[in-house]
A and B are shown apart, each in its own frame.
Chain A
């Protein structure tokens, strides 16, 4: 570092704008979220008609007793797990496939993936809903499903959102994993295949261990993204599905707060999400540390 000439406060000067913005617009709202989660906070308090009263863990106990909350929590975890697995499976398989083909098919697949990656979540959602539309969509015609409504049943509605999520998130996994595979010396792969290892064996015993750091990053990224999916659920199932059957935590918190004006309860759900994601983050940091990465 050529820090010889730099006064000690120079880095802090550079950091100041970022820290001010993050303190005011990220840390403070998180603090507020925590605060509101301990209050009785409904429409009356928002309009100033009644003072906000401290409730202690009132909102939290209400949540824990609420059967729908547990149902939504379970659905969120299962849905996120399915999306993460689907994304990783598709992304990694296609990354391996990319190493087996010549330039033209590779470019085609890359470009298509880039298009899916770049598509905004909201337009991706509208297009997928339209593709699976019971009246005018091509999917039901091709599959011969008649006027089967994908959004009517809980499972099929989640499946539809799952397809969209995997479609728009596998490209990141594919591109980074492919870049990682390309960085593995060719001799290593050559040696493995000369020793008679098949594709699956090469992946498991040679590629996967060497790609471990990259795979950890994309896995954690996927867990975080898929756990807080909002736009797709909101747009594709019209705010959480029929009778809230497709709610996930994020949408549930939003609906509690803004649709039924229970801001205190909504904030408590937000805090629960925050804590779960904090757990994931700590796990991530431990994995990074164990891998001997330097920040």
Chain B
């Protein structure tokens, strides 16, 4: 009886599933289209990019746009600056966040909940609004026009979310492991760096994506703090240079955008599984 119901249901469902699957595929194509168009336009020869009838393919791919991008405006240097800034922020904030997340998950102490709420609230701060005081702060410590003026603020801005998200990963390490380590005579520092750190490391990498993206993305601080030292500028500034003209060089903009997007995309795809479980953890807690 049940099997009959199941069979009928199955037959009934088939057209529905077909419709669902078709729309899933169509939506996937639609969602992927902007990225496809970006890469495609980067490889199109200049004439086709500026053509009246844009077509979603090209028969004569060329590297001209990329060549223009890398030859103009010290693009390579900007790329390097962006990498230096993002990598510094990722490493420093990951280490600091790891320590802080350990403190709030593996210890009970007064003000713990208050601190957690503060970390949560800190994520809400509109960092763009802080550009004004941050500008004066950087000026007063003499960091304006240097990469430090980009690294310092981003460490501070990525910490609250990193701590919040890392909690789940630190919590997931069983406490019995900690007790075992102490019984075996490991000190607190040893447990922290040689046992807990390697176990939490994958989570640390996943969390880092967010600090990486927000730093990699930033053009506001770069625009406001790097005023008279163009050699210390970052990628987004170079991108905006291409865009700012009366007649933007779209091929160049798309090539530069492609160069800027690919590192993030690679990073993201590499860690996305942990990212999802980490977000799940952050959400559940």
Stretch at the interface among A19-27, A59-67, A153-161: A19-27
* A11 CB to nearest chain B CB (Å): 4
* Contact indicator A295/B128 (Cβ below 8 Å): no
Interface size class of A (residues with CB under 8 A): 35 or more
- B80 sits at the interface (CB 8 A): no
* Contact indicator B280/A176 (Cβ below 8 Å): yes
> A278-B121, A295-B116 are known contacts. Are A136 and B49 too (CB-CB below 8 A)?
yes
Residue of B nearest to A102 (CB): B21
Residue of B nearest to A230 (CB): B128
- A43 sits at the interface (CB 8 A): no
* Contact indicator A2/B182 (Cβ below 8 Å): yes
Residue of B nearest to A32 (CB): B133
* B189 CB to nearest chain A CB (Å): 10
Selected from B113, B123, B243, the residue in CB contact (under 8 A) with A126 is B243
Per-residue 0/1 for B192-235: is the Cβ within 8 Å of any A Cβ (1 yes, 0 no)? Answer: 00000000000000000000010011011000100000000000
* A36 CB to nearest chain B CB (Å): 6
Selected from A26, A120, A250, the residue in CB contact (under 8 A) with B213 is A120
Cβ–Cβ < 8 Å partners of B112 in chain A:
11
* Contact indicator A118/B268 (Cβ below 8 Å): yes
* Contact indicator A293/B285 (Cβ below 8 Å): yes
* Contact indicator A254/B260 (Cβ below 8 Å): no
* B238 CB to nearest chain A CB (Å): 11
* Contact indicator B124/A224 (Cβ below 8 Å): yes
> A115-B35, A122-B219 are known contacts. Are A109 and B120 too (CB-CB below 8 A)?
no
Residue of B nearest to A19 (CB): B100
* Contact indicator B29/A112 (Cβ below 8 Å): yes
* Contact indicator A14/B102 (Cβ below 8 Å): yes
* Contact indicator A2/B179 (Cβ below 8 Å): yes
Interface of A is mostly: helix
Per-residue 0/1 for A130-144: is the Cβ within 8 Å of any B Cβ (1 yes, 0 no)? Answer: 110101111001000
* Contact indicator A105/B25 (Cβ below 8 Å): yes
**A115 and B34 alpha carbons, distance in the complex (Å):** 10
Cβ–Cβ < 8 Å partners of A135 in chain B:
50, 52
Cβ–Cβ < 8 Å partners of B153 in chain A:
25
Per-residue 0/1 for B44-77: is the Cβ within 8 Å of any A Cβ (1 yes, 0 no)? Answer: 0000011111101000000000000000000000
* Contact indicator B124/A235 (Cβ below 8 Å): no
Selected from A122, A224, A250, the residue in CB contact (under 8 A) with B128 is A250
* Contact indicator A167/B108 (Cβ below 8 Å): no
Interface size class of B (residues with CB under 8 A): 35 or more
* Contact indicator B122/A101 (Cβ below 8 Å): no
* Contact indicator A108/B250 (Cβ below 8 Å): no
> A2-B179, A33-B133, A273-B129 are known contacts. Are A116 and B159 too (CB-CB below 8 A)?
no
Most buried by B among A36, A101, A106, A234: A101
- A231 sits at the interface (CB 8 A): yes
* A41 CB to nearest chain B CB (Å): 9
> A14-B103, A106-B24 are known contacts. Are A273 and B126 too (CB-CB below 8 A)?
yes
* Contact indicator A97/B24 (Cβ below 8 Å): yes
- B173 sits at the interface (CB 8 A): no
* Contact indicator A285/B120 (Cβ below 8 Å): yes
Cβ–Cβ < 8 Å partners of B97 in chain A:
18
- B240 sits at the interface (CB 8 A): yes
Q: List the interface of chain A (C-beta within 8 A of B).
A: 1-3, 5-6, 8, 10-12, 14-15, 17-18, 21-22, 24-26, 28-30, 32-33, 36, 94, 97-98, 100-102, 105-106, 108-109, 111-124, 126-128, 130-131, 133, 135-138, 141, 167, 172, 175-176, 179-180, 213-214, 217-218, 224, 227-228, 230-231, 234-235, 250-251, 253-254, 257-258, 263, 266-267, 269-271, 273-274, 277-278, 280-281, 284-285, 293, 295
Q: Can you pick out 25 interface pairs between chain A and chain B where the beta carbons lie within 8 Å of each other?
A: A1-B175, A2-B175, A10-B103, A15-B115, A17-B100, A21-B159, A25-B155, A26-B125, A26-B157, A36-B132, A100-B20, A101-B20, A116-B32, A116-B34, A118-B269, A119-B35, A130-B254, A167-B34, A176-B280, A176-B283, A217-B282, A251-B128, A253-B129, A274-B129, A281-B124
Q: What 9 A-B pairs come out closest when comparing CB atoms?
A: A270-B129, A25-B156, A32-B133, A118-B268, A14-B103, A18-B100, A123-B257, A11-B107, A11-B103
